Amino acid sequence: MINTEIKPFSATAYKEGKFVDITEKDVLGKWAVFFFYPADFTFVCPTELGDLADHYAELQSRGVEVFSVSTDTHFTHKAWHDSSDTIGKINYYMVGDQTGNITNNFNVMREGQGLADRATFLMDPQGVIQAMEITAEGIGREAEDLMRKVKAAQYVASHPGEVCPAKWKEGEATLTPSLDLVGKI
């Protein structure tokens, strides 16, 4: 999936008190996070979505839009948003993918269940996947780690020829791959 382009889709999302229609064209031109989760009104999912909501302003300041996606409807997203304090703080897109089109496009549909895996995809402004993470049902994701990956991907995109090593943090030294580095790291 890395370095593949986003596939066509259309869906309705709940965002800031409104239902909005979106397509893959709404993703192009900005960095985007597709944050798949199994279902609304569950257990691990609200902890992840709430954590991501706490980092949404920082993501927005970096030109990143967030699209959380489950196979629930946009109506269910609104009901959850209205009934949960944790989900109620979400301002990013909550995409209803009841047809499974988007979930299947990203190859994260659980066969025979109609539910998305717990998966995150980071896309560049050209709609190309630059990072992805898929975890088992019981393993929640952390928004702070996603932020580190966003910063690294944006750095690499704006500094051709440089790469970010493990544990890299914004402002730290990067590497410039060359024959001189072989065997010296």
pTM higher than 0.85 for the full model? yes
Distance of alpha carbon 150 from its chain centroid, rounded? 10
Burial 60-94 (b: 16+ CB within 10 A, else e): eeeebbbbbbbbbebebbbbbbeebebbeebebbb
Taking residue 108's Cβ as centre, other Cβ atoms within 10 Å add up to 22
pLDDT digits (tens, 9 = 90+) for 120-159: 999 999 999 999 999 999 999 999 999 999 999 999 999 9
Distance between CA 143 and CA 3 in Å, rounded? 22
By the 8 A CB rule, do 94 and 74 touch? yes
Active site residue ranges = 45
pLDDT digits (tens, 9 = 90+) for 65-98: 999 999 999 999 999 999 999 999 999 999 999 9
